[in-house]
């Protein structure tokens, strides 16, 4: 395939209402509407294109789109404003698989030609390349696809957002007018909302570098000016309050991306002299959500339909007078979880008792010729606090009419539903609305009356005294289960006459994301699962739901912001997430950090190692938008390693045991007598029990995990490591003279029935896993906190 043919040989096919089944030709482009919530001219239109997918890989493109969209819909404000979008996929068939200069190819291919010409800009020479951009011929091709496939529908540059998905498993994407992302990378679906933050929200990057391994340096050193970015500043918190500037309205709030909204140094590729609102958000580290400051901006841009900058609102035509007995109407936008407020007024005075209706019957209001009737529609979302945004055109719209003397002659209008919440039939499978959704219908509009709407849930009529076109499922407090919701429109002037109906499946069953954890050293008692590890642990989440569609998994470390579970970077699907005290470096970024600085960080940012006890919550969000109840576990991560066993004993062991050399491991063994460890030898006990006393003298290592020791314990002079976790120690415990270097003697989550005496040890620590000591505590152990009752 030549460069010219890739740019020009495009076979445009008719739009499909579901994924096509016939194998397409190389060079073809097929438009597939995925979600249509209204006319394109009244919506923000997300156009998703694939590049580098061969005909055989089109099913992969569809799966990538499903995954990317469901992750996007799980993140606010996309989640609440999903209905503001039409979504179109354009399936383009490439003659070659992948994209040009993929840095993970061996070697990167500089000659690969694809329909959109996506490539890693410097990927052929830079192994850390991450910017996926259009080659010039690809931009020309993109413009032609858009002009010929979606422009006829009313999609324009002002109300359009392009997302191009590259067929690559390598991390990458870019913002700009048109966003790009990686289709197969574990973080790919999170790159998408980050880049949409740039393309749609005009947000800036918050990370502290331009080149990953290298600190970005100060934002400025002399003659510093205030950044134009809405989420970066040089002002102090007090200056923001005093000047009512930047994010002063959000200061002190718990951040949606973790921590508290405040002032955190670093951003806009700089490490210092500029500040951002949150410790970490999706604009800093992929995986977290937008914080409130960025979410407010994104809400404005979505509701304003990008560069249209006006909330969509259709109505009774305003260009001519209306009759004194007309019924005026508006059709508003429809957030998923709340309603817009609709206020009607006559000559500037609000009409009482309209109950947020989209219709106003002038008959009975006593209007006269020359009177002015107006309506104001406003979004009351808690996502916006800036009055300039709330009262601006993106969130508030008004319409106005003048009343004439002559009544309107009614014209027959069919009884029909003209728009509604999507009923759930999607290319990816059978869909549903969530149990907290506000479901809506829009109807035809006779000039002299309001059509009736009857809502039924599983056949039972729901109260609707004001003929609302909306039903708030969340207000019904539905129990877990699946329901059928139906809206039926009839004409009150023709009982028994024509009608129209829409039916939705209501999914009110929570999804779950069970955790599969690595094997612990010990498990501590308690209602919350609590596991003990040396140095690291892994967690795999398996998000599952009772319905089709991609289910999103999330977790939160130490209550510090929900983080999308994408598996593990640059690893095969199914690879679990790895947590370590200082994180793991992959392509000059840190992942899975338990220490200071957060879960993700730059390699040059200092970290205090995160040994100790951590809480991890995990949950799932299904394709219907239901957020499952979070489960949680605790993990205590200790310094140290388990020595390699030279002798392993299991089962019942009669008599006494003397360890004279090497590393003896008791794996679930039950020792009937006492255990003695001689100088230089090591003992590792996992599970099982020791019926008699345990005495060690100048041992190298002594480990007790999930075991029971019934006799007295005396551990003295240990040279390398003493760790006891999750064990039941029935007799008195004496720890003396254990000098284990920088590592303390570790007592974590044990039950000690007798006295606990500690003297002459380097230090004694529990790493946040308190011990239940029922006898006295003396010496160094006197300061150990007691376990909660």
pLDDT digits (tens, 9 = 90+) for 628-651: 999 999 999 999 999 999 999 999
Tokens 């040009």, residue located: 100
Q: Residue 592's pLDDT is what? A: 97
- pLDDT for 27 equals 80
Q: Model confidence at 223, in pLDDT bands (50, 70, 90)?
A: confident
pLDDT band at residue 13, thresholds of 50, 70 and 90? very low
Does position 667 have pLDDT exceeding 90, yes or no?
A: yes
Is 80 exceeded by the pLDDT of residue 160? yes
**Chain position carrying tokens 């109407």:** 329
At residue 427 the predicted structure's pLDDT band, cuts being 50, 70 and 90, is: very low
Q: Which residues are CB-neighbours of 354 under 8 A, at least 6 positions away? A: 342, 343, 344, 360
Pair 94, 52: CB distance under 8 Å? yes
Q: Which residues 6+ apart lie within 8 Å of 281 measured at CB?
A: 206, 255, 256, 257, 288, 289, 290, 291, 294
Q: Torsion-angle region of residue 370: left (phi > 0), alpha (psi -120 to 50) or beta?
A: left
pLDDT score, position 548: 86
**Phi and psi dihedrals of 141, rounded to 5?**
-65, -45
Contact criterion met (CB below 8 Å) for 448 and 325? yes
CA atoms within 13 A on the CB side of 578: 16
Are 209 and 215 within 8 A, CB to CB? yes
Higher-confidence residue: 2 or 683?
Answer: 683
Average pLDDT taken over every residue of the chain = 94
Q: Is 28 helix (H, G, I), strand (E, B) or coil?
A: strand
Phi, psi of 737 (to 5 degrees): 60, 25
Contact 119, 189 (CB under 8 A): no
Q: Which of 89, 94, 83, 45 is nearest to 67 (CA)?
A: 89
Contacts with 51 (C-beta within 8 Å, 6 or more apart), sequence order:
92, 94, 99, 114, 115, 116, 117, 118, 138, 164, 165, 166, 167
CA terminus-to-terminus distance, the chain: 73
Residue 282 contacts residue 194 (beta carbons within 8 Å): yes
Token output for 656: 């006494």
Query: Side-chain half-sphere of 313: how many Cα atoms within 13 Å?
Result: 28
Q: Domains (ranges, CATH) in the chain?
A: 3-199 (3.40.390.10), 205-288 (no CATH), 314-507 (no CATH), 515-638 (2.60.40), 647-783 (no CATH)
Percent of the chain with pLDDT over 70: 96
- Residue 660 CB: number of other CB atoms within 10 A? 11
> pLDDT tens-digit profile of 256-267?
999 999 999 999
Asked if residue 11 lies in contact with residue 116, where contact means CB atoms within 8 angstroms, the answer is: no
- Interval 421-427 mean pLDDT: 68
pLDDT in tens, 722-744: 999 999 999 999 999 999 999 99
As separate numbers, helices (DSSP H) first and strands (DSSP E) second, the chain gives 7, 61
CA 55 – CA 96 distance, rounded (Å): 9
Residues with Cβ within 8 Å of 173's Cβ and at least 6 positions away in sequence, in order, are 130, 131, 132, 179, 180, 181, 182, 188, 191, 192, 194, 195
CB burial readout 614-641, b (16+ within 10 A) else e: bebbbbbbbbbbbbbebbebbbbbbbbe
Q: What is the mean pLDDT of residues 506-521?
A: 97
Q: Is the pLDDT of residue 7 over 60?
A: no
CA 476/CA 36 separation, integer angstroms: 27
Q: Give the pair of three-digit tokens for residue 380.
A: 């009351």
Does the pLDDT of residue 428 top 70, yes or no? no
- Spatial separation of the C-alpha atoms in residues 315 and 89, rounded to whole Å: 30
Number of Cβ atoms within 10 Å of the Cβ of 521:
23
Residue range 245-264: average pLDDT? 97
Distance of alpha carbon 204 from alpha carbon 229, whole angstroms: 7
- Residue 423 is predicted with a pLDDT of 87
In this predicted structure, the answer to whether residue 192 has a pLDDT above a threshold of 60 is yes
Over residues 517-522, the mean pLDDT reads: 98
What pLDDT was estimated at residue 674?
A: 97
Give the pLDDT score at 434.
96
What would the pLDDT profile of 670-682 be if each residue is shown by its tens digit?
A: 999 999 999 999 9
What CA–CA distances, in Å, run from 478 to 434, 472, 542?
11, 11, 26
Q: Quote the Cα angle for 482-334-250, to 5°.
A: 105
% of the chain surpassing 90 pLDDT: 92
- So what's the pLDDT on residue 22? 59
Confidence tier at 625 by pLDDT (50, 70, 90):
very high
Query: For the segment 379-393, what is each residue's pLDDT rounded down to a tens digit?
Result: 999 999 999 999 999
Whether 535 has a pLDDT exceeding 90, the answer reads yes
pLDDT of residue 626: 95
The per-residue pLDDT for range 281-327, each reduced to its tens digit, is: 999 999 999 999 999 999 999 999 999 999 999 999 999 999 999 99
Q: Which residue has the tokens 């060079």?
A: 27
Q: What is the pLDDT of residue 430?
A: 61
The Cα–Cα gap between 679 and 677 comes to 7
| 79: three-class secondary structure by DSSP | coil
Lowest mean pLDDT among 18-32, 212-226, 476-490, 752-766: 18-32
125-142 confidence digits (pLDDT tens): 999 999 999 999 999 999
Contacts 24+ apart (CB under 8 A), 587-591: 587/127, 587/128, 587/171, 587/212, 588/128, 588/212, 588/213, 589/212
The string of pLDDT tens digits covering residues 68-113 is 999 999 999 999 999 999 999 999 999 999 999 999 999 999 999 9
pLDDT in tens, 586-595: 999 999 999 9
Is 206's pLDDT higher than 80?
yes
């Amino acid at each position: 395939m030549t460069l010219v043919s890739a740019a020009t040989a495009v076979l445009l096919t008719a739009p499909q209402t579901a994924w096509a089944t016939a194998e397409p030709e190389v060079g073809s482009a097929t438009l597939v509407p995925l979600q249509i919530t209204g006319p394109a001219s009244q919506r923000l239109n997300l156009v998703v294109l694939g590049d580098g997918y061969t005909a055989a890989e089109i099913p992969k493109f569809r799966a990538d789109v499903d995954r990317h969209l469901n992750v996007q819909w799980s993140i606010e404000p996309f989640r609440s404003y999903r209905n503001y979008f039409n979504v179109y996929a354009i399936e383009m068939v490439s003659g070659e698989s992948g994209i040009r200069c993929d840095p993970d190819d061996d070697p990167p291919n500089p000659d690969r030609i694809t329909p959109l010409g996506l490539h890693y800009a410097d990927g052929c020479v830079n192994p850390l390349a991450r910017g996926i951009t259009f080659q010039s011929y690809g931009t020309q091709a993109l413009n032609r696809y858009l002009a010929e496939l979606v422009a006829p529908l009313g999609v324009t540059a002002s109300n359009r957002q392009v997302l191009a998905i590259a067929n690559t498993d390598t991390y990458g994407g870019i913002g700009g007018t048109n966003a790009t992302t990686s289709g197969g990378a574990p973080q790919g679906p999170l790159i998408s909302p980050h880049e949409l933050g740039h393309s749609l929200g005009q947000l800036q990057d918050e990370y502290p570098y331009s080149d990953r391994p290298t600190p970005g340096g100060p934002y400025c050193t002399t003659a510093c000016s205030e950044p134009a970015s809405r989420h970066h500043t040089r002002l102090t918190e007090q200056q923001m309050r005093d000047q009512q500037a930047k994010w002063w309205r959000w200061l002190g709030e718990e951040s949606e991306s973790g921590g508290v909204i405040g002032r955190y140094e670093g951003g806009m590729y700089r490490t210092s002299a500029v500040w951002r609102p949150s410790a970490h958000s999706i604009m800093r580290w992929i995986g977290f959500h937008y914080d409130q400051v960025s979410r407010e901006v994104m809400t404005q841009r979505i509701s304003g339909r990008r560069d249209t900058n006006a909330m969509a609102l259709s109505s009774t035509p305003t260009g001519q007078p209306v009759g004194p007995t007309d019924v005026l109407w508006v059709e508003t936008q429809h957030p998923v979880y709340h309603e817009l407020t609709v206020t009607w007024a006559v000559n500037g005075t609000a009409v009482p008792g309209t109950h947020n209706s989209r219709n106003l019957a002038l008959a009975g209001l006593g209007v006269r010729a020359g009177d002015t009737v107006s309506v104001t529609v406003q979004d009351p979302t808690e996502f916006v606090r800036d009055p300039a945004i709330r009262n601006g055109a993106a969130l508030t719209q008004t319409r106005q009419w003048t009343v004439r003397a002559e009544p309107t002659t009614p014209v027959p209008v069919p009884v029909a539903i003209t728009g509604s919440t999507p009923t759930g039939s999607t290319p990816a499978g059978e869909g549903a609305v969530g149990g907290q959704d506000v479901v809506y219908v829009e109807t035809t509009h006779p000039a002299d009356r309001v059509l009736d709407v009857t809502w039924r849930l599983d056949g039972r009529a729901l109260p609707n005294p004001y003929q609302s076109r909306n039903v708030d499922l969340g207000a019904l407090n539905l129990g877990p289960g699946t329901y059928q919701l139906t809206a039926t429109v009839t004409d009150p002037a023709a009982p028994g006459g024509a009608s129209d109906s829409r039916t939705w499946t209501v999914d009110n069953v929570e999804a779950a994301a069970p955790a599969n954890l690595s094997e612990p050293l010990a498990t501590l008692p308690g209602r919350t699962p609590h596991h003990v590890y040396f140095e690291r642990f892994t967690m795999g989440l398996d998000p599952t739901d009772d319905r089709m569609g991609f289910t999103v998994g999330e977790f939160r470390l130490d209550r510090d912001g929900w983080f999308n579970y994408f598996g593990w970077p640059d690893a095969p699907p199914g690879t679990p997430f790895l947590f370590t005290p200082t994180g793991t470096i992959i392509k000059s970024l840190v992942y899975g950090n338990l220490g200071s600085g957060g879960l993700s960080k730059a390699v040059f940012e200092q970290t205090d190692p995160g040994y100790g006890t951590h809480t991890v919550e995990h949950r799932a969000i299904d394709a219907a938008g239901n957020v499952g109840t979070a489960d949680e576990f605790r993990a205590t991560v200790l310094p140290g390693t388990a020595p390699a066993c030279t002798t392993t004993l299991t089962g019942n062991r009669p008599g006494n045991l003397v360890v004279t050399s090497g590393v003896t491991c008791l794996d679930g063994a039950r020792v009937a007598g006492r255990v003695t460890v001689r100088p230089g030898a090591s003992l590792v006990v996992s599970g099982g029990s020791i019926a008699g006393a345990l005495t060690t003298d100048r041992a190298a290592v002594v480990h007790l995990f999930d075991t029971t020791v019934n006799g007295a314990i005396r551990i003295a002079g240990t040279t390398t490591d003493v760790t006891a976790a999750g064990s039941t120690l029935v007799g008195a415990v004496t720890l003396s003279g254990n000098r284990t270097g920088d590592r303390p003697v570790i007592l974590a989550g044990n039950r000690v029935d007798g006295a606990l005496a500690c003297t002459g040890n380097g230090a004694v620590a529990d790493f946040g896993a308190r011990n239940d000591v029922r006898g006295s505590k003396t010496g160094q152990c006197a300061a150990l906190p007691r376990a909660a009752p």
